[in-house]
A = this chain, B = another copy of it.
Amino acid sequence: MEITSLNNERIKYYQKLKNKKYRDIEELFLVEDEHLVNEANKFGYLKEVITSDKDLKYDVPVIYVTDKIMKSLSDQVTSSKVIGVCKKLDKNDIEGNIIVLDNIQDPGNLGTIIRSAVAFNFKTIVMSKETVDIYNPKVIRATEGMLFNINIIKDDLKEFLENLDESYLKVTTDVNEGEDIKKINFKDKRIALVIGNEGSGVSKEVANICDKKVYIKMNKACESLNAGVSASILMYEVNYE
């Protein structure tokens, strides 16, 4: 199929998916660039492809459009030549090591944490209800396609942690009362690692449920690390055997 008009109803429908409200209603979201489209396809989430490149072929329906239409759908300054329409993620098992996000607000941080979670063999991400929308284009871009590769759950964190299987050790960060993460051996344990909000950290009621507090050893001149960096170093240390 080929569409050349910006006023085409189908294009208008896709444009609406740039808005969280419509993503939630339609249970669809957009991904940009070949790498992300291919990742979505590999995991069975790709429904349709929109592209200005007549030579591109996919095993899902492809809609060929003008550069102008691509630009109207893209979230980037330099719009990509392929956009995928994807079904909402539906992998929500609780398995393996879990990273628990208490109100992460920056899209880049959330995307980076998802990317690192896959890198360091965390199988599940649990996000508080106030966490930034996972289908936000900036989140998706920062995941580098790794969001298709992991269980993603949105839940009340207090409830989730209280009901979590007893085989899990619940770990969070505490600069003052924690133990040095490097000196702890996490082998033979399943970990639920709780990361706090960029400004305010882990909420008190969630921290209180945790079994163990850890910190990353660093220079006192620096009050804290970026939340994505901090989460990544902790997952790296938990994962390393």
A residues within 8 Å of B by Cβ? 108, 112, 115-116, 118-121, 142, 144, 146, 149, 182, 216-219, 221-226, 228-229, 232-233, 236, 240
Contacts and interface: CB of A to CB of B under 8 A. Distances in A.
Copies in the complex: 2
Contact of A118 (B112, B219, B229): B219
A144 B223 contact: yes
Nearest to A231: B229
A226 B223 contact: no
Nearest to A108: B108
Contacts of A116: 222, 225-226, 229
25 contacts: A108-B108, A112-B226, A112-B228, A112-B229, A115-B222, A115-B229, A116-B222, A116-B225, A116-B226, A116-B229, A119-B218, A119-B219, A120-B218, A120-B219, A142-B226, A144-B224, A146-B221, A149-B222, A182-B240, A225-B232, A226-B228, A228-B228, A229-B229, A229-B232, A232-B233
Given A182-B240, A233-B236, A236-B233, A118 B226 contact: no
A51 to B, nearest CB: 21
Nearest to A142: B226
A117 to B, nearest CB: 9
